[in-house]
Structure 1
Amino acid sequence: MKLQCLIIDDEPIAQEIIEKYLEPFNQVQIVGKCHNAIEANQLLQDHPIDLIFLDIEMPHVNGISFAKSLEHPPKIIITTAYREYAIDGFELNVVDYLLKPISQERFLKALNRVMALPVNTIQSKPYIYLRVDMKMVQVYLDEIVYIQGLSNYVRVFCKDRTLITYQKLSYLEDVLPAELFIRSHRSYIVNISKIKSYTGQDLDVGSTSIPIGGNHKDAVLKILKSYNA
């Protein structure tokens, strides 16, 4: 099932940039591109939309007012040149707030936050995209066992494959849902559902033992004990 998205921006160049950034993602379909909220409102009535890329400063109605007017809003990523609306945006529970000019790396992070959301109307199975060997590779979250951070790249250990991506471990920590993944060490993130047993020093994920770092120990044990409560 493809993610149905809508681009709302009165600047054609801004629309083109978002469209270009979305090209590698075969799970995303652009349903429409609108120059203002009035056009967008009509399209929302005619098509199911999962995600909106929403500019703020537009003719007739600004993006914040438009988002507030939606009774059942889809997921929203704000794209704007104005920092001062950030608080208003996050009060609307937007997925992310991107400042123009938007880099491709920052755009990917925002899109991955949408893809990694827990199962809902957007998709039947949450996933993220990783840049591997010059390609964007789709990885389902329940496929990931653990992630190891190295000097300038990370290894993502999955059930049936291992992927290498040139991302920082902190990037993946920020993207992956905190209720599903836990950072146990400065070099490791673990899928909580893959933990078979644990001690105060390490986590057993089958044939691999993942260390628990001193700075992460209290948080890790608190989370794991909450599953046994």
Structure 2
Amino acid sequence: MKERIKCLVVDDEPIAQDILVRYIDQIDNLVLAGTCINAIEANNFLQKETVDLTLLDIEMPQVSGLNFLANLKNAPNVIITTAYRDFALEGFELNVIDYLLKPIPIERFMKAIQKLTTNNTLAVAKEESYIYLKADKKMVQIMLNDILYIEGLSNYVKIHLRDRMVISYQKLSYLESVLPTQHFLRIHRSFIVSRSKIRSYTSSFIQVEDSEIPIGGNYKSVVLEKLKNYES
């Protein structure tokens, strides 16, 4: 069983804190380590406990989240959660993983978590890289190495895997934004393919397993150039 990411929520707003706790509970590879209502509580908590990720509000009494982070030694990975967009530059200068604006949709929260794992900010083995997508009213783990190709249909996608197909009510553009570009390639307005699963290709289509997937006219020159570079 993979070790789960231990999360600390630091937010003085009970409703915002409850939302983040609920999101953590819905994603299998996350576990709640604790909650704090201000930076002083968070500092005391981190003196005693080790966490992998802190979800940190900015506007809190006594000490702001950014001041807390700037003075924190051996800081864990941090995702900012705030109602204020004005501090994004300061946040990224402090090497935060992501900057989420309230109210935070679960899809945006998931994208931040996937950024954490996909970019190997945590020691995630390459062969164990994965994403979570909502399917059948639950969050389903999709191993990246199992993906053959993804088909976009209006507001949902079909993820074609080695042994099954998963349907998720998500836009193809969202999948394109979270999947690692060195391993996945968008070849059509309706298709993303796994580069390692390509058996052959022409200027018109790419073969993945037994499926011939068309290369879109607007994508052709970029796709063929990337495939040529990938070969070398």
TM norm structure 1: 0.88
Kept in 2, the 8 Å contact 1:3–1:122? The answer is no
Residue equivalent to 2:155: 152
SS at 1:222 equivalent: helix
Q: Deviations over 1:89-112 (max 9, x none)?
A: 233343322111223333233333
Larger deviation, residues 26-35 vs 59-68: 59-68
Paired residues for 1:74-153 under 5 Å: 74-115=76-117, 117-119=118-120, 121-124=122-125, 125-153=128-156
Q: Are the equivalent residues in 1 in contact too, given 2:205–2:213 (CA < 8 A)?
A: yes
**Preserved contact between residue 113 and residue 176 of structure 1 (Cα < 8 Å):** no
Contact 1:50-1:122 at 8 Å conserved across structures: no
What amino acid is the match of 2:104?
I
Distance 1:193 1:53 in 2: 35
Does the CA-based 8 Å contact 2:116-2:122 persist in structure 1?
no
Aligned partners of 1:177, 1:211: CA distance in 2, in Å? Answer: 21
For residue 209 of structure 2, what is the aligned residue in structure 1?
A: 206
Q: Which residue of 2 aligns with 1:163?
A: 166
- Alpha-carbon separation, structure 2, partners of 1:109 and 1:207: 31
Q: Partners in 1 of 2:204 and 2:95 — Cα distance?
A: 37
Partners of 1:134 and 1:174 in 2: CA distance: 23
Map residues 61-80 of structure 1 onto 2, 5 A cutoff. Answer: 61-70=63-72, 72-80=74-82
Where does residue 27 of structure 2 map in the other structure? 25
SS of equivalent residue, structure 2 residue 26: coil
Distance 1:178 1:43, change over 3 A: farther
RMSD between aligned residues: 2.1
Q: 1:159 to 1:35 in 2, by over 3 A?
A: same
Distance 1:156 1:91, change over 3 A: same
Q: How many residues align?
A: 228
Q: Which range moved further: 61-70 or 72-81?
A: 61-70
Equivalent pair of 2:151/2:191 in contact (CA under 8 Å): yes
Cα deviations by residue, 1:148-192 (Å, 9 ceiling, x for unpaired): 001231100011110011111111111212222111110001112
SS of 1:196's partner is strand
Q: Which moved more, 1:50-59 or 1:101-110?
A: 101-110
Q: How far is the alpha carbon of 1:45 from its aligned partner? A: 4.2
- What is the CA distance between 1:3 and its match in structure 2? 1.1
For each residue in 1:69-122, what CA deviation from the matched residue of structure 2 results, as whole angstroms up to 9, or x when unmatched? 34554332211010101222233343322111223333233333334x144534
Change (3 A) 1:211 1:46: farther
Q: Structure 1 residues 121 and 98 mapped into 2: Cα distance closer, same or farther (>3 Å)?
A: closer
SS at the partner of 1:23? helix
**Unmatched segments (≥5 aa) in structure 2:** none
Q: Secondary structure at the match of 1:78?
A: strand
- Amino acid corresponding to residue 23 of structure 2 in structure 1: Y
* Pair 1:226–1:81, CA change in 2 (3 A): same
For the Cα contact (< 8 Å) 1:67–1:92, is it kept in 2? Answer: yes
Instruction: Name the amino acid aligned to 1:183.
Output: R
Identity %: 52
Aligned mates of 1:227, 1:70 — CA distance in 2: 42
Name the CA distance, whole Å, in 1 between partners of 2:68 and 2:224. 43
3-state DSSP class of the match of 1:114? Answer: helix
Corresponding letter in the other structure for 1:51: L
